[in-house]
Amino acid sequence: MGPQARGGDEMTTTAVSAPLVELTDVSKYYGNIRALEGVSLAVDAGQITCVLGDNGAGKSTLIKIIAGLHQHDAGAFRIEGEDTRLANPREALDRGIATVYQDLAVVPLMPVWRNFFLGSEPTKGAGPFKRLDVATMRETTRAELLRMGIDLRDVDQPIGTLSGGERQCVAIARAVYFGAKVLVLDEPTAALGVKQSGVVLKYVAAARDAGLGVVLITHNPHHAYLVGDRFVLLKRGAMTASHTKDSVSLDELTRQMAGGSELDDLRHELER
């Protein structure tokens, strides 16, 4: 009995220590086109892993694999230590992976509370008297946004009247409320100014502090360095570098993101 109990404890420790999401040498091909090749990253609870790269670097393909839209062709994809091949986005959600895309899936003319619960609306009553529990949705939305530090004037206002940053923040709060363990954010600051970007990054950090593992996809090394714990750089579908925050400076991260030695070669060429 004793040895069996100890074995169980060891298994529990292993499960706890395993990253929430881990990709090892993951590759994806579309015919003869290499979308991703040999990409590895880990996402731990309470940490932010930033994936950086320009257009065409493979960031979108990586998101689709983690979100269950596409399956990888090679390598290993693990969720909490278990080898996984997600069949669809619903399965990813059921496993605790929530993805917030750049073009947020909201209905602009519907109120904030309705968008917060879109597709998961609570009801009350039974049979022909079954109806949406509007009071609960309003109160829950207000409370959850406040818990994340988002103080909206009115949750009855159409979500389309909010700024881009505020809409991103509502999407983050929604993912936290519905029990996400991993939050994947697709370029959340891409179309925002400095102030609005700062607001979004504050709530990204709040999700991390709530214990979620966050994957932040971005092409902005300055935004990544403000909140990131790990950095993975992609270029043309391949991983060119992987750093922890204490192993790289912002200047070096920016240099590598900009092309590093290729940029130096170009400068020498232009000088000649």
Residue 172 falls inside a structural domain: yes
Residue 5 falls inside a structural domain: no
Question: Which pLDDT does position 120 carry in this prediction?
Answer: 87
Structure tokens at 96: 């605790």
Find the DSSP H helices in the chain.
2-17, 59-66, 89-94, 112-116, 134-147, 164-177, 194-209, 221-227, 250-258, 261-271
Read off the pLDDT of residues 117-162 as tens digits, 9 standing for 90 and up: 988 888 888 888 888 899 999 999 999 998 887 888 799 999 999 8
Read off the pLDDT of residues 7-26 as tens digits, 9 standing for 90 and up: 555 444 444 578 999 999 99
The H or E element containing residue 235 is strand 230-235
Residue 149 falls inside a structural domain: yes
Residue 6 falls inside a structural domain: no
For residue 169, the domain's CATH number is 3.40.50.300
Residue 13 falls inside a structural domain: no
Q: Which of 248, 232, 195 is nearest to 66 (CA)?
A: 232
How many domains, in total, are found in the chain?
1
Residue 9 falls inside a structural domain: no
Question: Which pLDDT does position 264 carry in this prediction?
Answer: 64
Residue 1 falls inside a structural domain: no
Ramachandran area for residue 21 (φ above 0: left; ψ -120 to 50: alpha; else beta): beta
Q: What is the mean pLDDT of the chain?
A: 87
pLDDT (tens, 9 = 90+) of the chain, 272 residues, equals 444 444 555 444 444 578 999 999 999 999 888 899 999 999 999 999 999 998 888 999 999 999 999 999 999 999 999 999 999 999 999 999 999 987 777 888 999 999 999 888 888 888 888 888 999 999 999 999 988 878 887 999 999 998 888 888 899 999 889 989 999 999 998 878 888 889 899 999 999 998 999 999 999 999 999 999 999 999 999 999 999 999 999 999 998 887 766 666 666 677 76
Range of the domain at 242: 18-271
Contact 33, 27 (CB under 8 A): no
Residue 180 falls inside a structural domain: yes
Question: Which pLDDT does position 181 carry in this prediction?
Answer: 95
